[in-house]
Amino acid sequence: MRQPAPDKWSGLGLRVLTATLLAPLLLLAVYAGPPYSDALFAVAGGAAAWEWVRLCQSQSLDHGGSWDWAAGLAAASVSLSLFAAAVGLLDAALWLTAAGAMAVLLWVARSGREGDSAWSALGVVYIASAFLSFQWLLGQPEDGIWAAFWLIILVWGTDVGAYFAGRAIGGPKLMPTVSPKKTWAGLAGGMIVAAGVSAGAAWLGDGGALRLAAAGAALAIVAQLGDLLESGLKRRVGAKDSGNLIPGHGGILDRIDGFLAVSLVYGGIRMMAGDSV
């Protein structure tokens, strides 16, 4: 008997409901600023680091022992580094990140999994740097809140555009060996929505619509690369999601993979350029 085709929109209702409940809380925390935003970053960054290290474990290893300790070290170092930065101790934040990455590297290497240890340490540096970048961006006196909101909504727009365009249009796969569901149509849809959102944001900021639209489209590509990075990590160990913390969405890392990449790239550009977008 022929099996019915899978519903490509399955799970959409739960995803929308969860996003509707969580999105206002995120935006309110960012708008309120410290200490609420700092607390949110510390919790989210620690949770993401925990999930990253758990994803790095080989399927041949059990889920206990040294991996729990390694994941705990990663989560603690990221959370503490963000707390240190929040109270103005940026040098301490950088040292905590480096020390945490080294501790995780050495701890995991004890199991003889050098490749897993390198990926685990990379996650600590990557996640901490991305959140530190966003934390710094939010603290900019002239346009910090505007830029933070723009990046958040841009990443959401990229995800929404990629989701609907990819499922409605389909077509050639973007990188099937890394993420079998992502398509070129999804990438284009994400770029279009991100460009539109950014053009709209120009009315609230001081940037030209065309320039912001181009920046939004470029950052949509960065967001998709961040998504692919996490997809590659999950595919490496045969995992579907990074966790189950968020109903309908998987783990925290599944929801912020694009945000991490965009925050790191955009915040890094701002730090080096010393001016607004």
Tens-digit pLDDT profile for residues 142-189: 888 999 999 999 999 999 999 889 888 888 898 888 888 889 999 999
The pTM (predicted TM-score) of the whole model is: 0.89
Which residue would you say has higher pLDDT here, 18 or 158?
158
pLDDT bracket for residue 236 (50, 70, 90): confident
| Mean pLDDT on 224-237 | 88
Contact 124, 98 (CB under 8 A): no
Q: 124-141 burial, b for 16+ CB within 10 Å, e for fewer?
A: bbbbbbbbbbbbbbbbee
Does residue 209 carry a pLDDT above 80? yes
**Least confident window among 19-28, 36-45, 58-67, 104-113:** 58-67
pLDDT bracket for residue 93 (50, 70, 90): very high
How far is residue 179 CA from its own chain's centroid? 16
What is the reported pLDDT for 63? 47
Write out the H or E segment, with its range, that includes residue 180.
strand 179-183
Q: Got the DSSP string for 24-50?
A: HHHHHHHHH-TTHHHHHHHHHHHHHHH
| Domain boundaries defined on the chain | 34-139, 142-277
Write out the H or E segment, with its range, that includes residue 162.
helix 144-169
Q: How many CB atoms lie within 10 A of CB 238?
A: 8
At which residue do the structure tokens 């609420």 appear?
36
Does residue 205 carry a pLDDT above 80? no
Does residue 136 carry a pLDDT above 70? yes
